[in-house]
Amino acid sequence: MQGKVVYKEGFSVIGIAKNGEYQKENLLKQILKEKEMISSSKEPHMVTGICMAPKKENYFYIAGTEVADTAFIPNGMSVHTFPSFTYLQFKHRGPITSLGSTYNSIWNEWLPNSPYSMIEGPALEIVNTAIHSNLYSDTYEMDIYIPIKLGQ
């Protein structure tokens, strides 16, 4: 597994948000069905999942799409805006049910052996649904972005 340092400008997402560790799969399934309702999507085939700290039992998760305009928010959805961050980008390959293994490798193997440390901020999970729409496929892929700083 190789991490790549990337800088991402601030952005806004319209989507579905809920508290709770076990919401991710449900929210991703729901946004796959409802993302066409978001008329201002920058790239309608891209879905962005956002994990907000604390990354424990009751964290906040958002499943949506990045937007160019926040004027129209579909019923049942909300808008969330995030500042610019520097991230470590990783590729997850395999069904979403194996995502925990990828995160464990990042947190327990890659980060401790790197010159970077994770900082508080949104962790991103970005999927190209034009290619990867089946969350349970062995060929499913998503890019994971971990907010970082140089040093400990």
Could you read off the pLDDT tens digit of each residue along the chain, which spans 152 residues? 788 999 999 999 999 988 866 677 788 888 888 988 999 999 989 999 998 865 555 678 899 999 999 999 999 999 999 999 999 999 999 998 898 899 999 999 999 999 999 998 899 999 998 898 888 899 999 999 999 987 66
Chain-centroid distance of CA 138 in Å reads: 19
H helix runs in 35-133, sequence order: 99-105
Q: State how many domains the chain has.
A: 1
What residue numbers bound the domain in which 145 lies?
Answer: 4-149
Structure token pair of residue 58: 């009751």
For the entire predicted model, the pTM comes to 0.88
Q: For residue 77, what is the domain's CATH number?
A: 3.20.80.10
* DSSP state, residue 23: G
